[in-house]
Chains A and B, each alone.
Chain A
Amino acid sequence: MQNKYTDWKQALRSGLLGGVIVVVLSLIGIVAAFINTYVIHDVISLGELLILGPVMALSLTAIRKATNKQPGFLLLTAAISGLASGLVILALAGLGQVINLRAMFLNASPDLYAIYAYQQAPIPGLLLRLLVCVIVSLLTAGFTLLPARIKTALGQGLLYIVVIGLMGRLITMMLSNWGFVAILFQWMFAANSLSLIGAIVLFLLTAGLAYWRYGRPKVKRITDPKKQKVVRWGTLAGLGVILIFLPNILGLWFSEILDNVGLFILMGLGLNIVVGFAGLLDLGYVAFYAIGAYTIGVLTSPELGFFNWTFWQAFPVALLMAFISGLLLGLPILKMRGDYLAIVTLGFGEIIRILVLSDWLKPWLGGTQGIQRIQRPVIGIEGVWTRTLTSQQDLYYLILAGIIVVAFVAIRLRDSRLGRTWMALREDEDVAVAMGINHVATKLTAFAMGALFSGIGGTLFAAKIGSIYPSSFQFLVSINILSLIIVGGMGSIPGVFVGALALIGLPELLREFAEYRYLFYGAALVAMMLTKPEGLWPEARHRLELHEEATPPPEAEAEPATENA
């Protein structure tokens, strides 16, 4: 009996929490803001989803936590939870009628109450709202009682509807580049969201697929090394083809995003060497980006009129400058570790930015006005065929080429003696030195290589923008690069790609959410770090005994070999 009692209380608590979440979301304004952002056109909007989502989620929590697992009981638990949530929502609406909440909460408007009441008169409308809360909670409970296979299928189907529905605007924008192919998909979308028929088809397809795939082995592991090779090269070739046509598939707007993501991948790969491999926390990394960009600017801009070189003449000089400045930064901080190192590098980054801004260097670096009319890179052979790379799509290929080279070098470095040396230094500097490692040479190489990669990023940035300003090289850029490494997975090369896509690409895609995008983005980051603290794609050093080398099972060898001495 005692047991049952606690379950009621727990259901009530969950429900109240769900209601409170809805109220908070309402008061910060996102419910009303997205009430016309449809997931399925004229059927359900993001705003409505923001009301029902928390209610359902907390019902689910109540059901999960319930000790009595009888179906009837679970339905009752969900109903209590849903009712509690609904009552909290109603309480806000009621309170709003009695006192003027708008003095404190700008968003506690009649509009919001109308949304709560489904645009009906208050009494029947709010009762309907209450009923809906209870019904969705009951549906949630019903959902948990289904067999696992159907649950998976339904869940997948709904997930796809929400994701595709929310990305409706982006998808229709992308489709506009496809010409006649777009017609094939047009019926699925209506006014930047899924059409009802589109949603039904999508649901049937994805749920059906999930139902069919349930319980089947995911992908057969290919053990034959020859086949493995074929598969690997096939995947690479496929990826290559996709990457080549990506700007055409996605259109101009996406290409711009891709370019930005690409530049951050370049810098991420560089910083990953310093922070991820060698474990040296560098907060002034943007300095090398600036050095690369400014070297190109000074050497090529006719506005300053010093050199007037072409991009490709200036390019190696810029890389050399970045490399050397990496070495120079490395020298004074060899003995520093951890936090101290971070502070000093931060200072270095600021020094470079302030130098660039200063009046003293204005004749050479342009001060706040920056440098304009930077020469665009020209490819081809003079007199035969040449092309000046100016558009986002042109630069995409240049950046892609840069990434391929840099990623290749990064992988090679990681798998070499030098890479091992960096990792040993990261793990335990004292012991690494006791292994005969010269920490001076090792650290300087890490700094210089990191700086070089960032320098490449800087040159391409200058080529892409055509003009550079000190404000492009804020401290925040260093933090962004560091964050993308952490989000992707410290020391992991694929992690840099995933991290850059998530941190640089995603906020652009979230433009749908207007001024709330950084709110969503921040919430997503916090959630990610809580659920996957090791990063989205952590370094694969956990292959364990799967390696071909391990012929006999380790257990057979476990007894000390010293016994037979």
Chain B
Amino acid sequence: MDNILVSTKVTKRFGGLEALSKVDLEVRRGAIQSIIGPNGAGKTTFFNCVTGFYTPEEGEIIFNGHNITGMSPDRVTHRGISRTYQNIRLFKNMTAIENILVGMHPHLKSWLIGAIVRDPRTVREEAEALKEAYRLLEYVGLKGRGDMLAKNLPYGEQRRLEIARALASRPQLLLLDEPTAGMNPSETQAMVHFIQRLRDELGITILIIEHQMRVVMSISEKITVLDFGRKIAEGTAKEIQTNPTVIEAYLGRGAASGLGEATAQG
């Protein structure tokens, strides 16, 4: 099987706390996969290890056949991994279009001299970047919002702008950290469709962190369940739903009935 991302025995400790312990995870190229787990399970820590924010104490992360363990975040992005954040982290005082343009950074070249002289190559590069940025803005459904400051956009639009910014670096692997946090059921549904569309139209592999299980049930090819930094289960949505360890660890004892309800909707 062609795996775009393989992590083997990834361990991350903070002082005495083991935030991740020996996590193995494989992401198939072109798939939508999910990591779920209760709060503090180590989901975001895992993202931070993949994107270079943290260096794991043990284990390694292979992306596209290259070892990216401990690589600095900017270089990881250049390799083709891009992410969004659980609590939206846009460049608040920059406009929507500028946010996307910053996202395109890895594909642009002009620097000091180009900026001052504005040689034809820089001018062309900037014009093309701007066009591309507007195209992306439209793609995520924010047409006409380009000149608004990011902080002035409504919540849902901020989420989509963050995805547009992540897409701007033309990633092969997109990491979405709770993309539906704070959304109502219909917005959530729309976001799920949108994620599916990203994969189908752009061919990007997508790894989602989710807190609510029902969000990812319908679209995930494979679901990995983390709890207290350990992988406790992995499999298709069906397998996870019926896995007794998951039901117990994830939803707590005696919550199995609640899970049934949730999956019925999902």
Contact = CB atoms under 8 A, between A and B. Distances in A.
A427 B91 contact: yes
A541 B94 contact: yes
Contacts of B155: none
A560 B194 contact: yes
Contacts of B32: none
A565 B194 contact: yes
A363 interface: no
A436 B168 CA distance: 11
A550 B144 contact: yes
A106 interface: no
Given A561-B194, A562-B197, 20 more contacts: A413-B112, A413-B116, A416-B126, A417-B129, A419-B115, A420-B94, A420-B102, A427-B92, A427-B94, A435-B169, A436-B78, A439-B74, A445-B111, A542-B149, A557-B144, A557-B145, A560-B187, A560-B191, A561-B141, A565-B197
B165 interface: yes
Given A424-B91, A431-B91, A545 B115 contact: no
Interface of A: 409, 412-413, 416-421, 423-424, 427-428, 430-439, 441, 445, 449, 541-547, 549-554, 557, 560-563, 565
B190 A562 contact: yes
Contacts of B115: 412-413, 416-419
Given A417-B126, A418-B111, A562-B197, A436 B143 contact: no
Interface in B19-76: 51, 53, 72-75
Contacts of B98: 420, 423
Interface string B95-111: 10010011101101011
B141 A420 contact: no
26 contacts: A416-B126, A420-B94, A423-B94, A430-B53, A430-B89, A433-B72, A433-B74, A434-B77, A434-B83, A435-B103, A435-B165, A441-B111, A541-B93, A542-B149, A552-B143, A552-B144, A553-B144, A554-B145, A557-B143, A557-B145, A560-B190, A560-B194, A562-B190, A563-B193, A565-B194, A565-B197
Contacts of A419: 115
Q: Interface size bucket, B side?
A: 35 or more
A430 B126 CA distance: 24
B146 A549 contact: yes
Interface string B123-152: 000100100001000011111111111001
A449 B142 contact: no
B44 to A, nearest CB: 13
Name which of A427, A542, A550 has the most chain B CB atoms within 10 A of its CB: A427
Contacts of B165: 435
A413 B78 CA distance: 24
B85 interface: yes
B245 interface: no
Given A435-B102, A560-B141, A544 B74 contact: no
Contacts of B102: 420-421, 423-424, 432, 435, 437
